[in-house]
Each structure stands twice: as structure tokens, then as C-alpha cells.
Structure 1
Amino acid sequence: MVGIIIASHGEFAAGIKQSASMILGETEGLESVVFMPSEGPDDLYGNIQKAIEKLGTEEVLFLVDLWGGSPFNQSNRFFEENPEKRAIVAGLNLPMLLAALSEREDYDTAHEVAKAIISEAKDQVKVRPEELEPKSEGKAVAASQDDTPKGAIPEGTVIGDGKIKFVLARIDTRLLHGQVATSWTKATNPNRIIVVSDSVSKDNMRKKLIEQAAPPGVKAHVIPLKKLVEVSKDPRFGNTKALLLFENPQDALKVIEEGVPIKELNIGSMAHSVGKIQINNVLSVDQNDVETYKRLKELGVKFDVRKVAADKPVDLFKLIKEKESEGLKL
């Protein structure tokens, strides 16, 4: 596995490492090195050397804050020792780090990972209002080559095999956020993220924020429950690979009972509120939730309890069983 060292002036590197762990979970092969005002170049060099030793691999990717700054200069000394197996990328930001952590699962060398993360790190630099963003000729060319059908597609048209693909159906109170936009999008490769909620579909502000939070290359939509039932039976969505997001298990049950073919639910996050009991660090349920999960199980739905894709699945009903003394009943 490619080792990653993030290095910065001040505590930036340590903070961005913590941010990544909140989104992707704790990861191996990642070290942070901070350069403090009281330290000199030799101190920084020694700390980077210690970080390399902790990684235990010659394939090392350095992510640094500034090209030409001290973290870059000292990392460059180690790069020069073994340029065939090491790489440096400057301009460190969180999307860059998340991309590196994900891409190294597919690549074996630091050079390959470095090459793969550049476009994603740049694509996430955006501005609002959108008219402040400089026009890109490359983007215009890409748009002109888009082969997505334009305009309304006549009813009854069969696209692909005529069946929408649900690459993931997730219960998550927060809906579309960092863990979904990075970890789960990378793991499931959807071309659409669909938030399914009657309440959110009526809230124009929340809808807009969700649509704008979609990762590069993926479109986000917010639709009511009834619309998902219709879409699941519409042959015009045959080329759609959808990642579904529900706020609660009750909404998922309603669409499944209406015939939406969801075979498995990823239980990712259910926020604590009055009357709910915490069954692990991210899931809180009440008796209504328990009864809903039991009904889903009767319908043949399987459960995948994971916050991020890298986590190990746990048994939902075992977690509930352990809380029977606090009032939950199976």
C-alpha cells in the first residue's frame, strides 16, 4: 500500500488528517507532520524521516501545503533519494487527501496515486455565486461531448435493459454529506444520488444545498417517495445507477411495500433525539424503528450496518438486543 505523508506549516496537516478520519474512518498508512514556529528545517527533516519509518514502505506520496515552502523543501530531499517510488503534490486540501486515500486502493505506486488525484483536487475548488468562476475551455468542450439525452424522453421508451440499478440504499439522517460523497460514491460508483424524502422535496433551500453537494461527475436529485415508486417502474431509467438516501427506515419501508426492489439497506447514521436509545456511536433508535426493521426483515431485506465503506459490517439486531435492558424489545 502507498504510504501518505501530509506536511504543513502549523497544525493544518494534523487537522486535515482528523477531518479525513471523520469522513472515511481511521486509516492505516497515513502520517501527518507539522512545522511549528519554534522549529527549524532540521527538525522538520527529522520528523518527516520518522514518519517515513512509521509507514514502513518505500512507496510514499507527500501532500504538502505550499510549493517551495519548508514542508515541500524537506519532503523534496526524501523524494530525491528515491524519485522512482516517491511523489510530491502541493496545494493540499481535503478533497485531495480523500482522493489519495481512496485511489491508493486501486493503485500500487505513489506516482499513479499522485496522477489520479490532481483533477479531483482541482474540481472541488468552486465558488458561489457561480458567475465568479472563470470560464474553462476544457469544461466547454466536455459539455459539448456529453451524450446524455437532451429534452424529454417519450414515455414507454426503453433505455438499456429498462431497469434502474440501485447500487446502494442508505439510511442516514444527514442525507448527502462527506462520507456519502466520498467513501460511498467511490465504493459504489453511481451516476445519480437520489434523496428520497417527502419533507425535503418540499424544502427548496435543502433541495438546492443537496443538489450542490454532489461530488464531481454525479448528479444529485431530491424526490418524494411516490416519485421513486414511479421511477423504479419506468424503463427510461435503464442506464441509471442510483445511490438512494433515506432519512429514516419508515420511508424505506413505504417504498419497498409499494414495490421498489431494494434488497439491502445500508444503515449508516441515525441521529439521537428525545425517546431514542443509542445502540452504537452513530445509531439511535426507538421502538418504532425496531418494529420497522423487523417488518423490513420479514420482507426479505438484508441490513448492512456501516458508517463508511471501510468499516466492518455489524449485526443490527444484535446491537438492538444488547439494549433490551434500556427498553428496546425485539
Structure 2
Amino acid sequence: MANFLLVSHGEYAKATKASVEMIAGEHKNVKAIAFKQTMNQDDLLEEITKAASEFDEAPTILVDIAGGTPANTAQRYQQKHPDVAVYSGLSMPLLLAVVMGTPIDEAIKQAIDNMAPVGLTKKKEEPKKTIKKEETPNKNVTLTPHTMQNVRIDERLIHGQVATMWTNALKLTRIMVVGDDIVKNDVLKTGLKTACPHGVHLSILTAHGAARRINSGKYVGQTVLLLVKNPGVLRQLVDFDVKLPEINVGNMSTKPHSRQVAKSVAVLDKDVEDFEYLDQKGCHIYHQMVPSEPKEDFMEMIK
């Protein structure tokens, strides 16, 4: 019997498993993992590795959405275990079909067919899609300080909230991920390319490389979200004369000796030092997890 490991944001995977068991009974070949806000990718990878090792054979991993942290972390696990298949789109119809023995490809078709108007609900006609002409960046190569308007610290980098909510709210044309360590990590770069939303360009750069491109005017005319994992990278950019008028602190996971200042943000002493430096340089730093939430003064939060 095939094994299945469910991974989702929050309790969704566990709830889906419980709902299916109401119909099909308990299945010991199915395990579920909840990804919580206080966790980072390494924490989740450890959970996936532990759960997968408890199966007699390699499981198929079902995650909630493509591009989210569960999907990105499952792909990291897959890199070292190529016999493991990973699928997004976890749902009750999909899980019910596979636990009843339906092959995964057929189960996906059945789950899609299950999404249909019910009763008197009429199917809506889809509006015609318009294709936007790609904007051409400014080719000016003179290095002068340039401003990055959309800047976010998010340790998970491109995940569900960034790939959906922030991309749509800001109408992004490019995501720029900056970090010297990220450029050297081929596995992480592969995951970022997979997670990047369709139609959005992706740049993965060192701090020096990003500053040079920004200050050469390469991204003028584009709507760019600058993503970093910690404030130290932004401190480097400021020292390279990149102007950062506003910085959104979204997610920084709990670490040894860190201090929790928000539900999704924990800071080390070094982080506080970097934030104070950025504040002194005139950066307005705020906390906003998703676009629908109000902005909170981050410097007040870390006092």
C-alpha cells in the first residue's frame, strides 16, 4: 500500500486527514505535518525527514499550495530522496481517492472534476485574458543611488504569502532575492525558481551585485519586491548607497537566544543592532505580515 505524507500551512493537513478518516476509516499509511509560523524551513525539513523515516517505503508527499514553504521544503527533501514524489493541491477529494487505491494521476483528475457548480449554481463565464507587454528596463549604466520601494525581510523568501498576496497586492513584475549565501546554495536557488509566480521575473543576487544593478537603473520601470532573510543584508545594501525608504519585517523565525517580538518575528541582538543602524540611516521599519493587516512601527516593537 502506498504511503502519503501531508504537509500544510497550519492544521489543514491534519484536518484533511481527520475528515477523510470519517469516511474511509483510519489509515496508518498516512501521516500529517503542520507548518507553524514560529518554524523555519530547517525546522520543517526535520519534521518531514522524521515522519518519512517512519514509513516502510518512501512516501508520496502532498502539500497544500505550490510555491509555499511546505512545497519548497518538500522539494529540499526530494533533492536528497529522488524516489519521493511531491504534489501540490492537497484536498479532501484527492486524499480520499488515493487512500482508496486510486493512482495519483487519476486521483488528481477526479479531484479537479469534483470542483464544479452544485445544485442551481451556474458556471460563470471566464473573462478574456489580456496579455501585458513586458516592460523594458532603463539601460542607463551610470551608477547613482536608486530607491527600492518594496523591501521585505522574510526568512522563508518566496512562499505562499509572497507568491500570492504580496505579488497580487503590489502587482509585481520582478522578485529580487538578495543574499551571498543564497547565491551559493544551488538547492535553494532551484526551489526559488520553482516557487516564483508565473509571469514574474526572478533575480537571485549577492548584495554587491544587487546594489550595482539597482544603482545602474536596470530595474527602473519595473515593480520589484526586494526579499532578504535578515536585516544584515539590507545594511550591506545601504552601505552600497541603495536607498531603502521603507522596510517591511515579515518573518524571522525563532532561534536560540532570540527574542519574540511578534507572532512571526524573533530577533537576535545582532538583528537589533542592524535594525538600529538602518533606522539611523533614515529607513522607516515596520511589521506587516500580509497586505490586509495594518503596519506596526517595528522599532517600537524591539525596544
TM-score w.r.t. length of structure 1: 0.53
Residues in 1 aligned to 2:141 and 2:301: alpha-carbon distance in whole angstroms: 45
Name the counterpart of 1:277: 259
Aligned match of 1:183 in 162, 165, 175?
165
1:78: how far off?
3.5
Asked if the contact 1:164–1:237 (Cα under 8 Å) also holds between the matched residues in 2, the reply is: no
Aligned alpha-carbon RMSD (Å): 3.8
> In 2, are the aligned partners of 1:163 and 1:237 still within 8 Å (CA)?
no
Matches within 5 A, 1:307-322: 307-321=289-303
Q: Would the aligned equivalents of 2:176 and 2:204 in 1 still touch at CA under 8 Å? A: yes
- Gap change, CA 1:277 and 1:222, over 3 Å in 2: same
Answer yes or no: is the 8 Å Cα contact 1:169–1:266 preserved in 2: yes
Which ranges of structure 2 fall in alignment gaps of 5 or more residues?
A: 1-15, 21-31, 36-63, 69-91, 94-109
Do the aligned partners of 2:148 and 2:242 also contact (CA within 8 Å) in 1?
Answer: no
**CA 1:278–1:245: 2 relative to 1, 3 Å:** same
Q: Does 1:115 align with 2:126?
A: yes
Kept in 1: contact 2:152–2:249 (CA 8 A): yes
**Bigger CA radius of gyration:** 1
Secondary structure of the residue aligned to 2:256 is coil
Amino acid across the alignment from 2:213: V
Query: Which whole-Å CA distance do the structure 2 matches of 1:146 and 1:312 have between them?
Result: 33
Q: 1:168 to 1:155 in 2, by over 3 A?
A: closer
Which structure shows the higher helix fraction? 1
Q: Distance between the aligned counterparts of 1:280 and 1:217, measured in 2?
A: 33
Q: For the residues of structure 2 that align with 1:240 and 1:66, how far apart are their CA atoms? A: 35
Q: 1:316 to 1:216 in 2, by over 3 A?
A: same
Give the stretch that moved more between structures: 298-307 or 162-171: 162-171
Does the CA contact (< 8 Å) of 2:252 and 2:265 recur in 1?
yes
Count matched residues: 205
CA contact under 8 A between 2:176 and 2:226: conserved in structure 1?
Answer: yes
Residue type of the alignment partner of 1:192 = R
**What aligned pairs does 1:8-157 form with structure 2 within 5 A after superposition?**
11=19, 65-67=111-113, 72=116, 75-79=117-121, 87-88=122-123, 111=124, 115=126, 156=141
Deviation sequence 1:266-320 (CA, Å, 0-9, x none):
1000011111011121100022211221221111111231111112222323322
Partner Cα separation in structure 2 for residue 157 and residue 299 of structure 1: 23
- Identify if the C-alpha distance between structure 1 residues 221 and 156 changes in structure 2 by more than 3 Å, giving closer, same or farther: closer
What pairs with 1:152-171 in structure 2 (closer than 5 Å)? 156=141, 166-171=148-153
Structure 1 residue 255 corresponds to structure 2 residue 237? yes
Matches within 5 A, 1:218-257: 218-257=200-239
Query: Using CA pairs below 8 Å that are at least 6 residues apart, which structure has the higher relative contact order?
Result: 2
Judged with a 3 Å threshold, the aligned counterparts in structure 2 of structure 1 residues 237 and 164 are, in CA distance, closer, same or farther, namely: farther
**Large movers: runs of 4+ above 3 Å:** 64-67, 145-149, 153-158, 162-167
Aligned equivalents of 2:201 and 2:246: distance in 1? Answer: 23
- TM-score, normalization: structure 2? 0.57
Task: Report what 2:282 is aligned to.
Answer: 300
Tell me the SS of whatever aligns to 1:166.
coil
Residues 154, 261 of structure 1: alpha-carbon distance in 2 compared, 3 angstrom cutoff: closer
Matched with 1:193 is 175
